[in-house]
Amino acid sequence: MRATGRLTGRARREMRLSLSLVPPNVVVTLFAGGAWAGIFFAAESRARWPMPFSITAAVVPFVVADFSYYWEHRCAHRVGWLWRLYHATHHSSPDYTVATAYRVSFLNQALSPAFYLPWVLLGVPAILVLAFQLACFHYQAWLHTEKIGRLPLLDAWLNTPANHRIHHSTAARHQDRNMGAVLMIWDRLFGTYAAPEPGLSYGIAGRDPPTRWWDIYLQPWSAPPRP
């Protein structure tokens, strides 16, 4: 990616391609976020077992949001139409930089909050579920780098750059691994954890990386279903 300490032209083009998805993502997120906030607060008024709002009780909303992120992410990998509709977008880059973190389809935040809604119906405060859902999403930004190596005290139980690099690896043994948001507990519980390794390649195995922004959205629909 770098030659004599500088970004190559190809790497700069790849970063620009990733960042080209930011404007539509921001616009749709603002509109969808407002709609989902209305749905969440309406659901809260019908909650089965309302939980008193308390900052000290925030551990429960954090854990359930992290749990929901894991299952939304796992479904986005294993449910073919979700993979093609929005999640293949994020995996389409052959590079692994902070810009890759922002290669996100505008449909991601339009659909993913549905996985968090059941907790509000059960009684978890809507504002905290929304806050931690966004926190889990934005936590991903610092994970997309090869400049941070192993973090031995954190890698075992938290999502770190070393763990998330495995998630983006094209190696067959790494497919659908390390799908947690902040915690690696769910991956360990449900058998999807893989320890960090060096020497990885990134992108979608067997597919050429897209070179135009519209191909990022359209290319997954021309691919065969994932195994």
Q: Are 200 and 166 in contact (CB under 8 A)?
A: yes
Give pLDDT tens digits for 166-202.
999 999 999 999 999 999 999 999 999 999 999 999 9
Residue carrying structure tokens 């709002």: 53
Question: What are the residues whose beta carbons fall under 8 Å from the beta carbon of 195, sequence distance 6 or more?
Answer: 155, 166
Kindly report whether the global pTM for this prediction surpasses the value 0.75: yes
DSSP string, 48-102: SSPPPP-GGGTHHHHHHHHHHHHHHHHHHHHSHHHIIIIIHHHH--SS-SHHHHT
Give pLDDT tens digits for 84-128.
999 999 999 999 999 999 999 999 989 999 999 999 999 999 999
Question: What are the residues whose beta carbons fall under 8 Å from the beta carbon of 37, sequence distance 6 or more?
Answer: 126, 130
